[in-house]
Chain A
Amino acid sequence: MAIVTLTIDGIQFSAKDDESILEIAKQNGIRIPTLCHLDGLSDVGACRLCLVEIEGWNKLMPACTTFPIEGMVIHTQTEKLKKYRRMIIELLASEGNHQCAVCVVNNHCELQDLAYEVGLQYVRFPYLYPKKHVDATHPKFIMDHNKCVLCTRCVRVCHEVEGAHTWDIANRGINCEIISDLNQSWGSSPSCTSCGKCVLVCPTGALIEKGETIAEMEKKRDFLKYIVTARQKREWILNMSDEE
């Protein structure tokens, strides 16, 4: 680890070079929109909402998976970036089936919040209205593919935190979807422990608890930080020595 100096939106910062641009921005009060990122999970750069412009680089880079180098000059709020962020939300809206008015997470949805953040007035692309399925075979939870934005948070939390690796990604492009185990119904999954972590981290109404009705479900997406901090700091050992 080394300390580097970089500029974000015209302000100079020193930062550790093993922290992503997203983390550095966040620590300094600069808001970059994100969707697939969640504190406590690894970053995969899947949603591209956190794209930033770096002077001298010919590509836009995702802030969550890009690390600083000495002298980097970064812009997070250019017109070009705003245009792309809005386009990403438009594409996500047009390739799923989002009827917020009758959705379980209405008003508690990260996709909705992002639509407001990018000022989405309407979607310029033709809606695809794809015929996607709903898997209600699990005794406690439902997977509604119509609302899935393929952020892969569920895949990562199940693998990295729960250690079950029930979820995975199948197919490519517009046919890409989340599957459980060997592409079988969630209810028949031998690996799922029914811990519910994937349901809590899902940013949308794709993973929900059974028995919730419209606008009823509010997720506690930050519960992860307790588990992850506890694991990193081995808090149970501290607690044990306290008791001695």
Chain B
Amino acid sequence: MKLKVATAWLGGCSGCHMSFLDLDERLIELADKIELVHSPFADIKSFPENVDFTLVEGAITNNENIEMAHIIRKRSKFVISFGDCAVTGNVTALRNFFSPEEVITRSYIELSSNKNKTPNDYSNLAQLIPTARPLHEFIKVDAFLHGCPPTADQIWFAISELLEGRLPEFQNIFLRYG
């Protein structure tokens, strides 16, 4: 039976997912072994039940991420922090020097090309929490895949271990930050 696998994209730049695509021909091998039940690669809106493992990219940076993290935890057997932003906050946490208001004003008003327009009402969108933080500060995480982004070889090692029913332990060449 194929394993049900999901990937999720929280407060990250999608670079970890791009690196996932660098698995190249290994993706074909993978396609025979897993069923991708939720992912930015697949257009599936809701997060399904009974997922065997989920790779989560990105830090927790807004209230929607928190909600999603809890859903992922409830519905996945194993949750893997996927990349440095999920593990440490990393680049997403660079915004922690400023308040959420300063960040929003800078990125959506000061740097916007139509400065003269009154900004829209953002209150219906996901709200930034005071600081972007690692995933494991919110939910239990079973394994950590480091790197910004993790290399295809690191990702392949992690997935191969998970397909064998083992939690990957990153040591030596596979343990690298940045």
Q: Which A residues contact B (CB, under 8 angstroms)?
A: 93, 97-103, 106-107, 112, 115-116, 119-123, 126-127, 129, 131, 215
Contacts and interface: CB of A to CB of B under 8 A. Distances in A.
Given A100-B178, A127-B133, A129-B131, A122 B89 contact: no
B97 to A, nearest CB: 6
Interface residues of B, number: 28
B136 A122 contact: yes
B178 A107 contact: yes
A127 B141 contact: no
B88 A127 contact: yes
A120 B84 CA distance: 13
B107 to A, nearest CB: 17
Classify the interface of chain B: helix, strand, loop or mixed: mixed
Contact of A122 (B81, B90, B96, B169): B81
Contacts of B178: 100-101, 103, 106-107, 112, 215
17 contacts: A97-B93, A97-B96, A99-B91, A100-B90, A100-B178, A102-B91, A103-B178, A115-B175, A119-B171, A121-B175, A123-B88, A123-B134, A126-B133, A127-B93, A129-B89, A129-B97, A129-B131
Given A93-B88, A101-B84, A123-B88, A112 B134 contact: no
Given A101-B84, A101-B91, A121-B170, A126 B175 contact: no
A123 B97 CA distance: 20
B103 to A, nearest CB: 13
Given A99-B90, A99-B93, A126 B137 contact: yes
